[in-house]
Amino acid sequence: MIVNLYTDGASRGNPGPSGIGVVAKYETGELIFQHFKYIGLRTNNQAEYTALIEGINKLKNLKESKDIDLIVNADSQLMIRQLSGKYKIKNIKLRELKNKVDDLLGSFKSVKFVHIPRELNKEADRLANKALDSME
């Protein structure tokens, strides 16, 4: 079964107050879950990784996770290229977050990373900003 995970992290300042938004859907478009959360002071890249980690953790808890072909969709080109191994990660905090992602991905049948334009990530973006707005 194919699951699309859409993630976004938002920071107001870099670093600054940050929020995450996550949307998981079956390939049919049926919603599995939506999630948003204020995560405190982070850089934008840290927020992007945190959104992905939270989304993976939520999917991992599904009893059928071993049967999931996961497609990670994000508008962060940097994160997607780092996860795909196209870019090296020099920042220690980002490397730690990437290692955490790698540890979690073994729960799925397969994983594919896809960079999508911001326009195709509106739901996750809206949720990340909703998390930020909830703290104002």
Question: For the chain, which domains are there?
Answer: 2-133 (3.30.420.10)
pTM above 0.85, yes or no: yes
Task: Provide the residue-wise pLDDT of the chain in tens; the chain has 136 residues.
Answer: 999 999 999 999 989 999 999 999 999 999 999 999 999 999 999 999 999 999 999 999 887 888 999 999 999 999 999 999 999 999 999 999 999 999 999 989 999 999 999 999 999 999 999 999 988 6
**What was the pLDDT predicted at 135?**
80
How far apart are alpha carbons 134 and 136 in whole angstroms?
6
**What was the pLDDT predicted at 55?**
97
Structure tokens at 78: 């940097």
**What was the pLDDT predicted at 64?**
83
How far apart are alpha carbons 43 and 32 in whole angstroms?
28
Residue 31: half-sphere exposure toward Cβ, Cα within 13 Å: 7
Q: CB burial class (10 A; 0-12, 13-18, 19+) of residue 18?
A: buried
**What was the pLDDT predicted at 136?**
65
Q: Give the H/E segment covering residue 125.
A: helix 122-133
How far apart are alpha carbons 95 and 75 in whole angstroms?
19
